């Protein structure tokens, strides 16, 4: 069935409300799902809605949670998501983060007792839309073993960088996980009964696999080997250890009912270019031109931006829609 983006958001909000979420919890998540669908990121769109609803019902997510925001120092914002969704907790703390960055030149916001925050690049882009550089980190339940090991220690642990552009937009958004591919991409293929490419994951015995079910039981492969693991370790330090969240090793899965609330965390940095040196916008313009001026080259996030500009409706698989309607 073909749904407009407005219908996608309405469907998501209604489903989350009926599963037990308050409007304050459901609204930001519904808008996030709409945004993911608009950019063609199907693995983070309506596909996740049954998971979110299931977690509300088994109380891995507290549907009536009220985030608590504090500012212990001028450049530090701390948010306790109270085991609710990450999106409303981020929205609650973001105004303080933005103001702190403008006052201090740089500021950080951490979240604890949080949850999956969806497309991390969206949050970085929201910071960039305010004229600030956004550098964001999040962590996830352990799914990547250290080089030479077999036992997962860190999650796919992405980071995102968004640079302010003209007219309240991001000049570009870099959003990538520590793994070769986001775990949600393997979940998507498992749901469709499709194999995964070699080089994405190992099975429980540490052997390469193209079976998504075996990959989910084993370990994701880090992008770039040891270097990818290092990126994930960076996110683990900031989004988990610094934030006071549980470690990736302790976090319950983002899929399925097992375990209590994941209790994961995020760390967002905001930097005001005007506090450091003049000419930032011109240097970014030159960097963009050096990339886009090459035949076949593109800026990070350009495909998402193009899809967002042209998408008004999306096709939703009938089986997924039926699953949502049953909720």
Residues forming the active site: 43-44, 185
Contact (Cβ atoms closer than 8 angstroms) between residue 77 and residue 108: yes
Contact (Cβ atoms closer than 8 angstroms) between residue 141 and residue 154: no
Closest CA relative to residue 147, chosen from 79, 57, 223 = 223
Distance, CA of 165 to CA of 211 (rounded, Å): 42
Closest CA relative to residue 49, chosen from 314, 315, 322, 304 = 322
**Angle, CA 154 vertex, CA 57 and CA 16 arms, to 5°:** 20
Contact (Cβ atoms closer than 8 angstroms) between residue 265 and residue 292: no
What is the distance of C-alpha 139 from the center of its chain?
Answer: 9
Work out whether the CA dihedral 128, 130, 134, 140 comes out positive or negative.
negative
C-alpha distances in angstroms, 154 versus 240, 256, 276? 10, 19, 34
């Amino acid at each position: 069935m073909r749904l407009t983006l407005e219908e996608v958001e309405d469907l998501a909000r209604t489903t989350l409300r009926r599963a037990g979420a308050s409007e304050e919890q459901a609204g930001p998540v519904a808008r996030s799902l709409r945004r993911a669908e608009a950019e063609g990121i199907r693995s983070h769109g309506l596909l996740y809605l049954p998971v979110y609803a299931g977690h509300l019902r088994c109380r891995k997510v507290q549907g009536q949670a009220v985030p608590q925001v504090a500012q212990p120092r001028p450049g530090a914002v701390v948010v306790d998501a109270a085991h609710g969704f990450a999106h409303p907790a981020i929205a609650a703390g973001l105004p303080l983060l933005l103001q702190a960055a403008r006052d201090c030149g740089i500021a950080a916001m951490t979240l604890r007792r949080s949850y999956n925050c969806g497309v991390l690049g969206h949050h970085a882009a929201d910071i960039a839309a305010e004229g600030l550089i956004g550098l964001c980190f999040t962590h996830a339940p352990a799914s990547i073993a250290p080089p030479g090991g077999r036992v997962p220690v860190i999650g796919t642990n992405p980071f995102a960088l968004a640079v302010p552009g003209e007219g309240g937009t991001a000049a570009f958004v870099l959003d990538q996980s520590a793994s070769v591919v986001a775990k949600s991409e393997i979940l998507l293929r498992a749901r469709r009964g499709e194999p995964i490419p070699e080089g994405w994951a190992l099975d429980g015995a540490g052997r390469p696999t193209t079976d998504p079910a075996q990959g989910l039981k084993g370990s994701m492969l880090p992008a770039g080997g040891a270097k990818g693991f290092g990126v994930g370790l960076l996110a683990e330090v900031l989004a988990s250890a610094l934030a006071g969240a549980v470690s990736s090793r302790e976090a319950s899965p983002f899929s399925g009912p097992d375990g209590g609330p994941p209790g994961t965390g995020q760390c967002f940095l905001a930097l005001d270019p005007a506090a450091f040196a003049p000419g930032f916008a011109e240097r970014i313009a030159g960097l963009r031109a050096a990339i886009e001026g090459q035949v076949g080259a593109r800026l990070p996030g350009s495909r998402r931006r193009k899809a967002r500009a042209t998408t008004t409706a999306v096709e939703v698989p009938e089986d997924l829609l039926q699953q949502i309607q049953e909720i």
